[in-house]
């Protein structure tokens, strides 16, 4: 049995707290997700999804990818979402998520709650073309 909770902010305003399916106590609206899409049409090429914002970190909440008919029917393609120092770099400072995917399949990875290092780019790359990928998440103000 749950209990209703009201939280005051010290100015006379009160808010109803709730618990998300992930056990997080929420006392204010959660951020809405931004979405970024790329058709990763060339193998071993960096595709930028999010750029850094001063004073913010990015939270990755989900990934949807589709490997189309151009992906090899003999082997899965390797796909990675990673942190990097520039939007065009294939150098992975830190791999956030990596997976293999077969031709003509869709993969949903989520719900996620991955916090990205402040000041880095979020890039993706694939070992085979074409992978159509959407990354969802939001910027969280630091400090």
What are the tens digits of pLDDT across the range 9-43? 666 666 667 777 777 777 666 678 899 999 999 99
What are the tens digits of pLDDT across the range 81-93? 999 999 999 999 9
Per-domain boundaries in the chain: 30-141
Dist. CA 66–CA 19, nearest whole Å: 33
In words, the CATH class of domain 30-141 is: mainly beta
What are the tens digits of pLDDT across the range 57-105? 999 999 999 999 999 999 999 999 999 999 999 999 999 999 999 999 9
- How far lies 80's CA from each of 29, 117, 118, 143, in Å? 31, 16, 19, 29
Dist. CA 115–CA 33, nearest whole Å: 14
Tokens of 68: 């189309």
| Global model pTM greater than 0.85 | no
């Amino acid at each position: 049995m749950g209990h209703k909770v009201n939280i005051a902010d010290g100015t006379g305003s009160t808010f109803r707290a709730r618990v998300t399916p992930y056990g997080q106590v929420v006392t204010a609206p959660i951020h809405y997700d931004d979405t970024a899409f790329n058709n990763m049409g060339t193998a071993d090429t960096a595709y930028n999804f999010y750029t850094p914002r001063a004073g913010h970190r990015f939270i990755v909440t989900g990934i949807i990818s589709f490997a189309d008919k151009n992906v090899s029917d003999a082997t899965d393609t390797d796909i990675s979402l990673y942190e990097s120092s520039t939007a065009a770099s294939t150098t992975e400072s830190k791999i956030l998520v990596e997976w293999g995917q077969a031709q003509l399949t869709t993969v949903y990875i989520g719900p996620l709650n991955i916090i990205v290092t402040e000041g880095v780019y979020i890039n993706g790359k694939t070992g085979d073309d074409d992978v159509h990928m959407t990354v969802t998440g939001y910027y969280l103000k630091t400090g």
